[in-house]
């Protein structure tokens, strides 16, 4: 109680310091006056009375000081004094301060940005109650390299009924839903969810109710399927109408009824998605028309399964339970004995993985690249800290005498270290402030890179508590890294030694300079590691881009059309496509137009087995359905035969075009053109052989591929992508394509446009992200190292001015002086590079899984990196060396 009251009173006094000081002075004055008065009464003279009063009082200054330290918080006072001193110290050399703050901001900012991305994608739990109870159901098969998170409809429906370890089991699948608004159909990001999905996530709705198992049955809960919409959708689409529940929403040209609105905080179970509409799983055939994944049964895997564990059931127990149930679940779901045998031979096993962060395929695709990038950031931060430590060390060498004198005069070492640490804290805090401002911009740019051009994908990278904790941790770590070593170092000497040695004794000089050299050497080594990493990743990316794709992406634009829910089908739809292509080909700048069901690297893979008289059994071919002029548009060479024609109808016999690999596979050592191949009881005439192209991945070699004609497509309401080669601007083309589509078919949503080059970039975006970031870090590392080498050498040389003066007075040539100074850093650079090279050759193995067409020990990259570092180091060292050579011996000696 007493202590608390004292503390409060002390804190309160901090804010009235000036007033209290004046008050104390008044009181002390009145004390002396009273004493003088009494002394005078006793008969002393004025002078005597005054002296006696002061004598009996004791030291006025001491009393005042004791009073003050009793009044305020001495530790805080001291801290404020140190802070002021630190500010003055920084302001005295603004160049140093700016460099220090910016390099640190760079290191800290990069770490914060990447960490907030990692946080958003991999660490932050879903904003639902008790997210830690969530788990994702997985399937492991012996042939797979990775766990599968995707399930078929029958398996999920069996799982859904099991509640031994789970409270609820829900399924969700990302889906683009056509919603009818005032201006026609629009694509809206949505989710198809099973009956228990919302119960699993436990988030109460904002309005109405959420979907329940009653909604997820044939025909829905009542006459129509119910849907739940997001708060954002409710505000924009329904203008926040309070009576939205019960209203009709036309999705995929069918009426649905809105049963509830979910609050803004609810984002579903995928952190990279913001669904606007949640429709029941049973409505899938309507939403996905003309496709029907439910009818495809166990042939189609299309949903993720998320569960909430029963209280007291650990993830481990849930995992074991699922493992042991695997066979019974599979047998209850699928009756095909062949399929079951297949699953059995692959040792199929269900399992449970942590689900608190929900599921996104990006989590798995980017976990490794992001970890690698995070390691790069940490190396960058360490480098920045080492650099600052060296600079501070060099700077505090200039203050050694001052500090030694203060130690000798009774300052405690702890006190001095504290003061020096406050200085580095100041740098760290300012650096952190800059980095916190910059980090959100960088992390949202990085998030855009991770997400690619997926429509509807977002990632919330705002700074949350976890990021701030991380920032605070790194800032403190940086402060200690920067400040502790120089502070310990600068206060280690006693005055005696200091005064004896002065600043010129050669031996002391040598010994003192080992530590800074080691620090700089480490920095050079670290920089080399970063440069080697960047070199490898960049070379690998260049190789990816130089890979012969088999087609020319430059100037090609893709327009994907969604024709699944309009009224045309069969030949009329084919004619629609033909006339849409014709209309586009008349746009300015357009050279060729064609159509394809799959465009290179769009992520889709479609395969079918074919056989020929010579193939010796079925061969798996990658497939594509294309319109005439596809090869011309893509600049894929036709090696023999002729292209498809719009007149190639089913009646004129099925035609097929093979690529070179497929032709070799089906007709070894034989001209394929004119031959027959068969699939599914149908026979096709090979009319041409085309060049090989990369199909779904730049990394993987071109697969054997077959093309069939759009005019012979037997599918229903197939959606195609228009491929346009143009040398005009893409923007006006997009406008024209949209208005043409709206004119010719008002029911379809506007086509989605992406250039083929962007699509290719997207397909290797993790490689691009890593290469770009590592090049950026390597460039920064080189710059920072150059600054460090330059700065420390400048300080060191400045302190050697008189020594150099003496050498020159004794006859040293200017060139010799240059060599002498330059040699200092040359050794650091060479030793650092060697150490870095040794570590890099071990560490680069960790990168090898990211590399394409280049060894982790590529000699050119290693040699180039060392050369770059030596060059930078030389450039940074020559300046101080030349400055040293310009020293006038007389001036230097006189200054002593």
Partner 1 sequence: MGDSKSDVLQGTLDLMVLKTLESMGPLHGYGIARRIEQVSGDTLSMNQGTIYPALLRLEQRGWISSEWGTSETNRRAKFYSLSRLGRKQIEEATENWERVAATMARFLAPS
Q: Which residues bind partner 1 (CB under 8 A)?
A: 2, 5-6, 9-10, 23-24, 26-28, 30-31, 33-35, 37-38, 56-60, 62-63, 66-67, 70-71
Helix residue spans in 93-131 (DSSP H): 94-118
The total of other beta-carbon atoms located within 10 Å of residue 324's CB is 11
The total of other beta-carbon atoms located within 10 Å of residue 192's CB is 26
User: From the CB of 43, what's the least distance to partner 1, in Å?
Assistant: 17
Cβ-proximal residues to 558 (8 Å cutoff; 6+ apart), any chain? 599, 602, 721, 722, 723, 724, 753, 754, 755, 756, 759
User: From the CB of 412, what's the least distance to partner 1, in Å?
Assistant: 23
| 697 CA to centre of own chain | 22
* Secondary structure of 453-518 as H, E, C letters: CCCCECCCCCCCHHHHHHHHHHHHHHHHHHHHHHHHHHCCCCHHHHHHHCCCCHHHHHHHCHHHHH
User: From the CB of 30, what's the least distance to partner 1, in Å?
Assistant: 5
| Cis, bond preceding 853 (omega within 30 deg of 0) | no
Residue number, 34 or 445, with CB nearest to partner 1: 34
| 6 CA to centre of own chain | 50
Residue number, 18 or 88, with CB nearest to partner 1: 18
Residue number, 53 or 121, with CB nearest to partner 1: 53
Residue number, 14 or 820, with CB nearest to partner 1: 14
Residue number, 76 or 367, with CB nearest to partner 1: 76
Helix residue spans in 495-648 (DSSP H): 495-501, 506-512, 514-546, 570-585, 630-634
Q: How far apart are CA 139 and CA 148, in angstroms?
A: 5
Q: How far apart are CA 248 and CA 227, in angstroms?
A: 9
With left for phi above 0 and alpha for psi between -120 and 50, is residue 658 left, alpha or beta?
beta
Residue number, 68 or 401, with CB nearest to partner 1: 68
User: From the CB of 410, what's the least distance to partner 1, in Å?
Assistant: 22
User: From the CB of 47, what's the least distance to partner 1, in Å?
Assistant: 19
User: From the CB of 45, what's the least distance to partner 1, in Å?
Assistant: 19
User: From the CB of 199, what's the least distance to partner 1, in Å?
Assistant: 58
* Secondary structure of 347-393 as H, E, C letters: CCEEEEEECCCCCCHHHHHHHHHHHHHHHHHHHHHHHHHHHHHHHHH
Residue number, 44 or 508, with CB nearest to partner 1: 44
User: From the CB of 234, what's the least distance to partner 1, in Å?
Assistant: 59
Is 270:175 a contact under the CB 8 Å cutoff? no
Residue number, 37 or 888, with CB nearest to partner 1: 37
Residue 684's φ and ψ, nearest 5 degrees, are -125, 145
Q: How far apart are CA 461 and CA 445, in angstroms?
A: 10
Residue number, 71 or 655, with CB nearest to partner 1: 71
Residue number, 36 or 131, with CB nearest to partner 1: 36
User: From the CB of 33, what's the least distance to partner 1, in Å?
Assistant: 6
User: From the CB of 12, what's the least distance to partner 1, in Å?
Assistant: 10
User: From the CB of 60, what's the least distance to partner 1, in Å?
Assistant: 7
Read off the tokens for 495. Answer: 């005055």
By CB neighbour count within 10 A (0-12 exposed, 13-18 middle, 19+ buried), where does 849 fall?
exposed
Residue number, 57 or 468, with CB nearest to partner 1: 57
């Amino acid at each position: 109680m007493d202590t608390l009251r004292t503390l409060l009173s002390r804190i309160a006094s901090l804010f009235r310091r000036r007033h209290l000081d004046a008050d104390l002075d008044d009181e002390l004055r009145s004390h002396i006056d009273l004493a003088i008065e009494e002394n005078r009464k006793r008969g002393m003279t004025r002078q005597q009375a005054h002296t006696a009063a002061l004598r009996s009082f004791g030291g006025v200054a001491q009393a005042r000081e004791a009073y003050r330290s009793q009044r305020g918080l001495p530790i805080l006072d001291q801290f404020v004094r140190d802070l002021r001193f630190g500010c003055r110290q920084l302001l005295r050399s603004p160049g140093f301060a700016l460099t220090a703050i910016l390099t640190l901001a760079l290191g800290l900012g990069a770490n914060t940005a990447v960490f907030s991305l990692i946080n958003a994608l991999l660490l932050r739990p879903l904003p639902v109650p008790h997210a830690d109870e969530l788990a994702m159901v997985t399937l492991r098969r012996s042939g797979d390299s990775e766990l599968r998170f995707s399930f078929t409809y029958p398996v999920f429906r069996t799982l859904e009924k099991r509640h031994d370890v789970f409270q609820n089991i829900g399924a969700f699948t990302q889906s683009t839903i056509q919603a009818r608004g005032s201006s026609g159909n629009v694509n809206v990001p949505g989710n198809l969810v099973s009956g228990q999905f919302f119960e699993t996530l436990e988030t109460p709705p904002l309005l109405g109710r959420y979907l329940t198992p009653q909604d997820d049955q044939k025909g829905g809960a009542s006459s129509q399927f119910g849907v739940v919409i997001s708060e954002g959708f409710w505000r924009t689409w329904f203008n926040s109408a309070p009576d939205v529940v019960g209203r009709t929403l036309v999705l995929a040209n069918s009426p649905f009824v809105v049963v509830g609105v979910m609050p803004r905080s609810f984002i579903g179970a995928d952190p990279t998605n913001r669904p606007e509409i949640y429709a029941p799983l049973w409505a899938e055939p309507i939403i996905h028309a003309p496709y029907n994944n439910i009818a495809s049964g166990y042939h189609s895997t299309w949903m993720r399964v998320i569960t909430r564990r029963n209280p007291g059931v650990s993830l481990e127990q849930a995992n074991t339970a699922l493992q042991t149930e695997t066979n019974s679940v599979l047998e209850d779901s699928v009756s095909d004995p062949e399929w079951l045998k297949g699953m059995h031979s692959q040792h199929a096993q269900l399992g449970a993985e942590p689900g608190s962060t929900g599921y996104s395929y990006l989590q798995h695709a980017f976990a490794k690249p992001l970890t690698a990038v995070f390691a790069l950031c940490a190396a960058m931060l360490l480098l920045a800290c080492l650099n600052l430590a060296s600079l501070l060390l060099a700077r505090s060498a200039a203050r050694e005498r001052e500090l030694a004198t203060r130690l000798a005069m009774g300052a405690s070492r702890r006190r001095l270290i504290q003061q020096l640490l406050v200085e580095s804290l100041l740098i760290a805090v300012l650096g952190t402030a800059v980095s916190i401002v910059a980090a959100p911009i960088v992390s949202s740019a990085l998030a855009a890179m991770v997400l690619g051009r997926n429509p509807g994908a977002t990632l919330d990278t705002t700074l949350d508590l976890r990021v701030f904790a991380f920032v605070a941790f790194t800032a403190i770590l940086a402060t200690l890294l920067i400040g502790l070593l120089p502070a310990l170092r600068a206060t280690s000497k006693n005055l005696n030694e200091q005064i004896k040695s002065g600043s010129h004794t050669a031996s002391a000089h040598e010994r003192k300079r080992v530590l800074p050299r080691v620090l700089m050497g480490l920095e050079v080594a670290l920089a080399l590691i970063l440069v080697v990493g960047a070199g490898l990743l960049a070379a690998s990316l260049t190789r990816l881009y130089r890979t012969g794709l088999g087609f020319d992406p430059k100037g090609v634009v893709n327009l994907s059309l969604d024709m699944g829910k309009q009224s045309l089908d069969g030949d009329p739809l084919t004619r629609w496509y033909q006339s849409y292509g014709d209309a586009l080909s008349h746009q300015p700048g357009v050279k060729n137009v064609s159509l394809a069901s799959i465009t290179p690297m769009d992520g889709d893979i479609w395969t079918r087995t074919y056989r020929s008289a010579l193939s010796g059994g079925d061969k798996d071919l990658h497939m594509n359905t294309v319109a005439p002029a596809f090869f011309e548009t893509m600049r894929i060479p036709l090696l023999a035969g002729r292209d498809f024609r719009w007149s190639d109808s089913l009646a004129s016999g099925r035609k097929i075009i093979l690529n070179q690999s497929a032709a070799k596979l089906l007709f070894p050592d034989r001209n394929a053109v004119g031959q027959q191949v068969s699939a599914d009881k149908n026979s096709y005439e090979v009319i041409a052989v085309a060049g090989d192209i990369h199909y779904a991945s730049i990394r993987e070699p071109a697969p054997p591929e077959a093309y069939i004609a759009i005019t012979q497509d037997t599918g229903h309401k197939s959606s195609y992508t228009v491929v346009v080669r143009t040398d005009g601007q893409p923007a006006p083309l997009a406008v024209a394509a949209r208005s043409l589509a709206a004119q010719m078919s008002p029911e379809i949503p506007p086509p989605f446009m992406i250039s083929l080059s962007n699509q290719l970039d997207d397909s290797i975006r993790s490689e691009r992200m890593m290469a770009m970031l590592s090049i950026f870090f390597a460039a920064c590392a080189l710059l920072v190292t150059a600054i460090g080498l330059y700065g420390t050498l400048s300080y060191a040389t400045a302190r050697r001015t008189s020594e150099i003066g003496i050498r020159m007075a004794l006859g040293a040539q200017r060139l010799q002086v240059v060599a002498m100074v330059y040699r200092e850093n040359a050794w650091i650079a060479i030793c650092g590079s060697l150490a870095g090279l040794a570590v890099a050759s071990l560490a680069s193995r960790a990168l090898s899984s990211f590399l394409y067409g280049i060894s982790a020990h590529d000699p050119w990259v290693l040699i180039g990196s060392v050369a770059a570092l030596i060059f930078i180091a030389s450039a940074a060292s020559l300046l101080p060396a030349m400055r040293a050579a310009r020293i006038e011996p007389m001036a230097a000696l006189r200054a002593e």
